[in-house]
Chain A
Amino acid sequence: MQERFISLFKETLEMEGKNVQPGDLFREYEEWDSMGQLSLIAMIDEEYDVVIEGKKFQEIQTIAQLVEAIELEKTK
């Protein structure tokens, strides 16, 4: 799950070839901006059929937490 997510994450933020780790604070990437955020939310909806609410999304800091949030939504 995590490996596939990181691959999708890199594709979405156009970060292919960059080093992305589960513990990374993704908002600190230079590629991160409002378009990136919108793209990430859209990707998660498309690939995992999960919609993360705006407020909840703001609390998520790391890639690993994103994966957790998706898995949590999936079990609901």
Chain B
Amino acid sequence: MSLYNPFLLTDKTILVTGASSGIGKAIAIECSKMGANVIITGRDQNRLKETFSLLQGEGNLQLIADFSTTEGINSFVEKLPDLNGVVHAAGIIKRLPLKFINEKALNELMQTNLYAPALLTQQLYKKKKLIDKSSIVFISSIAASFSSIGNIMYMASKGALNSLCKGIAFELSRNGIRVNSVLPGMVQTNLTKVITEQEIQDDIKRYPLGRYGKPEEIAYAAVYLLSDTTQWMTGSLLTIDGGITLR
């Protein structure tokens, strides 16, 4: 008898965006380890290949996708098989103080962090790629309501993403599709390399649990939300942040 595990993703097909690095990469790997067939997309083809090489099982797929236009999203969705779940992990960050934010930077952030997941979800739904009881997961951030220096544009994009999640969750509940978000605190990924080592060490001291998160620790939450254990869970914003927002 195999060990009891209600969190297995055996025979589920899961799409993971932003899988070339960081949290998206960890999610793709953990989903494959839990038995899912994983379809990955990402901006950096070389790093995407590396993620692909780390996936377990034979049923995985890597696809080139351009989520910056509606046409790109539509043609991508047409190539997809039926899905049991999708994790929107693609995201970018740019820190600019209020005096320096501008239309171009705002558009870039909103495009990647909000419009792309919104329109991709719409197309997945319209083209009936999400089969019964499937699960949609957005990787948001505690930044949606937790300020840090110069993070205005990113905060706004993630706040809007949380609202998007709840709106879609309500609308798709009639189809038995559940929609939830994970809100990580600072996780050790490439997104964080712009600040100095000293600033990082000082920032880590503010975390009640004493360190930044690991990408896998966010991936496990995605696995949970994709698994059959969460069939009665929708519209939730799951914070995983080492306690930083307790302050």
Contact = CB atoms under 8 A, between A and B. Distances in A.
29 contacts: A12-B99, A34-B149, A34-B199, A35-B97, A35-B149, A35-B150, A38-B95, A38-B96, A38-B97, A38-B149, A38-B150, A39-B97, A39-B99, A39-B100, A39-B150, A42-B96, A42-B97, A42-B99, A42-B100, A42-B150, A43-B100, A46-B100, A46-B102, A54-B193, A54-B194, A54-B195, A54-B196, A55-B196, A58-B196
Interface string A34-76: 1100110011001000000011001000000000000000000
A42 B102 CA distance: 11
Contacts of B95: 38
Contacts of A43: 100
Interface of B: 95-97, 99-100, 102, 149-150, 193-196, 199
Main secondary structure of the interface of A (DSSP, over half): helix
Majority-rule SS of B interface residues: loop
A58 B96 CA distance: 18
Nearest to A42: B100
A42 B99 CA distance: 9
The 4 closest A-B pairs by CB, nearest first: A42-B100, A38-B150, A39-B97, A54-B194
A66 to B, nearest CB: 16
A28 to B, nearest CB: 17
Given A38-B149, A42-B96, 6 more contacts: A34-B199, A39-B150, A42-B97, A54-B194, A54-B195, A54-B196
Contacts of A12: 99
Contacts of A46: 100, 102
Interface residues of A, number: 11
A76 to B, nearest CB: 20
Nearest to B101: A42
Contacts of B195: 54
B61 to A, nearest CB: 36
Contacts of B97: 35, 38-39, 42
A19 to B, nearest CB: 23
A12 B181 CA distance: 37
Nearest to A46: B100
A35 B195 CA distance: 12
B233 to A, nearest CB: 38
A42 B152 CA distance: 14
A42 B199 CA distance: 18
Contacts of A38: 95-97, 149-150
Contacts of B96: 38, 42
A32 to B, nearest CB: 13
Nearest to B151: A38
A38 B195 CA distance: 10
Nearest to B195: A54
Contacts of B196: 54-55, 58
